[in-house]
Chain A
């Protein structure tokens, strides 16, 4: 794999994480438990879709085959998506959505902070822009983990269940493969393993304050970064891509 191909793959991962989670959050629009939450979830979704455009446009540019963000988002099949498994997990109840968000935001924040120092100026500027938005996402999702964890008996039970269920999808965030190693070698991206300690530190401190227990280390589900997904991604794409598939090149 050439450096250029590795960079394209890496950019797809960044773009697809934002796209799939942005889509998941948009599913809450009109269904959130309160108006403020509806607005907040849609706002976070909007930020992530904006970041998707930046990452996937850059990916298309690097690939050099004339694909832009829209073509990459609407015209690839599940096997070609490179998002981590965590972001495609269903919304579940509000606790599941916020636990997923907190795990992702904390990691996303740490990753973007490193990418803002990338040797590739195009990566650095998108990361610096996104970092400002993700700072707010993290503050909010952490708040909800605290509030539900240290809330009523019912909210505590649901948040603990959400954490226990999603925990196995967090291992993939910190595993390096040949693409991550190529990025590290070129000074373009960080070693994923190096993000684990600060991530775990924040998660532990938050759980402690929220009276939640940290799950025991166990089997980590992996594969999304290589295009091996759970059954959920196909349903997301059916929804996301329907219009472009049914009416090719439709615009409005």
Chain B
């Protein structure tokens, strides 16, 4: 009976692996590394999530969707905790998540987060971003900001595809 009302954590993680990100539905909240911790606390399931960007409107939708998904699996007591520290970085996107992003047409982050400061960045050449469609690195940035806070707009000079780049933070 207990395993029915308190499914084990790996089962819960796999259920959460089916909850899509509302802005980028090709990847799940697990793929993005938004779920920081899952644990049972005196019969209550506590899920700690972290925002990608502090103003990202998707964060509250994600909390609602996680709760709904877990309730649909029969878990009645769910508490969503918002955790700020350590701050989310693109390094938390799983290798599987990166592949899914690329297959969906979004170039995954090309750098390790926490790299050069802006003062250093100004002096160097930005990294080459590969076109998710034709894989050419002959691409250019159209804008530092794209359709959501986490993305920038790029265009491929070879196949002319405009595409989103999941920028590195």
Contact = CB atoms under 8 A, between A and B. Distances in A.
Interface stretch (A83-91, A93-101, A131-139, A160-168): A131-139
B90 to A, nearest CB: 10
5 tightest Cβ-Cβ pairs between the two chains A and B: A50-B55, A50-B54, A125-B85, A36-B143, A40-B145
Nearest to B142: A36
Given A43-B146, A125-B87, A139-B121, 15 more contacts: A36-B142, A39-B146, A43-B145, A47-B54, A49-B55, A50-B51, A121-B85, A124-B85, A132-B87, A133-B169, A136-B145, A136-B167, A139-B144, A140-B145, A143-B144
A170 interface: no
10 contacts: A40-B143, A46-B55, A46-B56, A51-B55, A54-B84, A128-B85, A130-B54, A132-B169, A142-B118, A143-B144
A126 interface: yes
A129 interface: yes
A47 B142 contact: no
Contacts of A118: none
B129 to A, nearest CB: 15
Contact of A129 (B84, B117, B143): B84
Interface size class of A (residues with CB under 8 A): 20 to 34
A8 interface: no
A12 interface: no
A129 B145 contact: no
Contacts of A129: 51, 54, 84-85, 87
Contact of B117 (A36, A37, A135): A135
Nearest to A131: B87
Given A132-B169, A133-B169, A39 B55 contact: no
Interface in A38-65: 39-40, 43-44, 46-51, 53-54
Contacts of A54: 54, 84
Given A139-B121, A202-B119, A43 B89 contact: no
B22 interface: no
B55 A135 contact: no
B149 interface: yes
Contacts of A46: 53, 55-57, 149
Contacts of B55: 46-51, 53
Interface of A: 36-37, 39-40, 43-44, 46-51, 53-54, 109, 121, 124-126, 128-130, 132-133, 135-136, 138-140, 142-143, 202
A138 B57 CA distance: 22
B84 A125 contact: yes
Nearest to B144: A140
Contacts of A53: 54-55
B11 interface: no
Nearest to A142: B122
Contacts of B87: 125, 128-129, 132
Contacts of A40: 143-145
Nearest to B113: A132
B145 A132 contact: no
Contact of A109 (B118, B142, B153): B118
B10 interface: no
B3 interface: no
Interface in B124-169: 142-147, 149, 153, 167, 169
Contact of A139 (B56, B113, B118, B146): B118
A124 B86 CA distance: 10
A44 B85 contact: no
Contacts of B144: 40, 136, 139-140, 143
Contacts of B51: 50, 129
